[in-house]
């Protein structure tokens, strides 16, 4: 991608539009968060502190184990996750390809046996009200349910 925002494969120059600028600012901000906070959030999640959880998944091509920090909320069938970076993120593609993963939630491991769609309304409502308001204001629209293998099931 060039400095003007072209080269993304999209037609038109998004670098001069307010939408293109907003997208570049958002992408830059999320990249900065990713580079600076992931180390800290992984530590907090493994310790069971703060709002963070870790998704432990296997790379679909490399076979390498990855640990991705996320904010999850527990629901009866498992966990709801908001996909800040959209639905084409590597961790999600890895989990879907493997058919599952492990979630470390509040310091305890949970076996995930599948990923299911979650509509916007249900996704936002799963989170505590202050978080749901922030998600709505930020335009969050991609959610998934990570289905947990509950004891006593054959999953």
Average pLDDT, rounded, for the chain = 83
pLDDT band at 21 (very low <50, low <70, confident <90, very high): confident
> Around Cβ 123, how many Cβ atoms within 10 Å?
24
CB 92 within 8 A of CB 33: no
Q: Where are the domains of the chain?
A: 24-148
- Give the pLDDT confidence of 84-143 residue by residue, as tens digits: 889 999 999 999 999 999 999 998 999 999 999 999 999 999 999 998 998 899 899 999
| CATH of segment(s) 24-148 | 2.30.110.10
Q: What values do phi and psi take at 148, rounded to 5?
A: -90, 145
Higher per-residue confidence, 33 vs 22: 22
- How far apart, in whole angstroms, are the C-alpha atoms of residue 4 and residue 24? 9
What DSSP state is assigned to residue 61? T
Q: What percent of the chain has pLDDT over 90?
A: 52
Instruction: Output the CA–CA distances (angstroms, integers) from residue 35 to 42, 66, 67, 89, 126, in the order listed.
Output: 12, 15, 14, 16, 28
pLDDT tens readout for residues 31-41: 776 666 666 66
Q: Is the pLDDT of residue 5 over 80?
A: no
Predicted confidence at residue 34, as pLDDT, reads: 66
Q: Evaluate if pTM is beyond 0.85.
A: no
When pLDDT is averaged across residues 40-65 and rounded to a whole number, the result is 82
What tokens does 118 get? 């979650």
């Amino acid at each position: 991608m060039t400095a003007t925002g072209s080269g993304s494969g999209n037609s038109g120059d998004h670098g001069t539009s307010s939408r293109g600028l907003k997208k570049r600012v958002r992408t830059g901000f999320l990249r900065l968060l990713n580079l600076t906070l992931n180390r800290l959030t992984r530590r907090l999640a493994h310790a069971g502190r703060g709002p963070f959880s870790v998704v432990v998944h296997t790379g679909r091509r490399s076979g390498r184990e990855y640990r991705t920090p996320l904010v999850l909320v527990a629901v009866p069938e498992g966990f709801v996750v908001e996909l800040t970076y959209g639905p084409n993120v590597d961790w999600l593609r890895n989990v879907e390809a493997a058919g599952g993963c492990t979630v470390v939630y509040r310091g305890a491991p949970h076996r995930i046996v599948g990923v299911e769609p979650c509509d916007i309304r249900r996704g936002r409502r799963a989170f505590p009200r202050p978080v749901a308001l922030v998600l709505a204001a930020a335009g969050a629209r991609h959610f998934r349910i990570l289905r947990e293998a509950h004891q006593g099931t054959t999953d």
